[in-house]
Structure 1
Amino acid sequence: MVGRIATGELEDTPEDDGKDPAAKAMGKKGGAARAASMTPERRAEIAKKAAAKRWGKD
C-alpha cells in the first residue's frame, strides 16, 4: 500500500474520525498540563495501574 501511495495510485488522506479538531487539540493540551502538574511518583502510580488493567493483572 505504501508503494501505491508513493506512486500516486492511491491518495493518502486521513479518515475523518468524527471528532472536532478543536476538541482534540484542547485534549492534548489538557493531558500535557495534567502530566506536568503531577509528581513523577504519581505519574508512575497511574501508569502501573493502567498497565495492570490493560494486561489483566490486579
Structure 2
Amino acid sequence: MTPKRPRDPNQLAKAIVDIATGEKPDRDPTPEEQGKDPAAVALGKKGGAARAANMTAERRAEIAKKAAKSRWSKDS
C-alpha cells in the first residue's frame, strides 16, 4: 500500500522530492523486509475471525460478558 499523498501542492512537491532523493520510502516495507515470517503474517491476518469461527455461540457470549464486566467494573 502506498502512503497517502498530501493534498497541499507545496507539501506534495516536498514529498515527491523526498521520495526522489531517497529520504523517504515510496511504500511501506513488506513483512519479509521487516524480518517477519510470511507464514506467521498470513496466520495473523486471519486472527480473531478464525478464532470466532471455531467457537460456539455460547463461548463467544461468555467471553463478551467477561469483557463487558471488566470494562464496566469500578476497579479501573
TM-score by length of 2: 0.41
Unaligned runs of 5+ in 1: 1-7, 12-19
Cα RMSD, aligned residues only: 3.4
Unaligned runs of 5+ in 2: 1-6, 13-33
Q: 2:44 is matched with which residue?
A: 27
Could you list the structure 1 runs, at least 4 aligned residues long, displaced by more than 3 angstroms after superposition: 22-26
Q: 2:73 is matched with which residue?
A: 56
How many percent of aligned residue pairs carry the same amino acid? 68
AA aligned opposite 1:38:
M
Structure 1 residues 33 and 51: CA distance shift in structure 2, 3 A: same
Deviation at residue 31 of structure 1 after TM alignment:
1.3
TM-score by length of 1: 0.51
User: Which of the two has greater helix per residue?
Assistant: 1
1:40 maps onto 2:64 in alignment: no
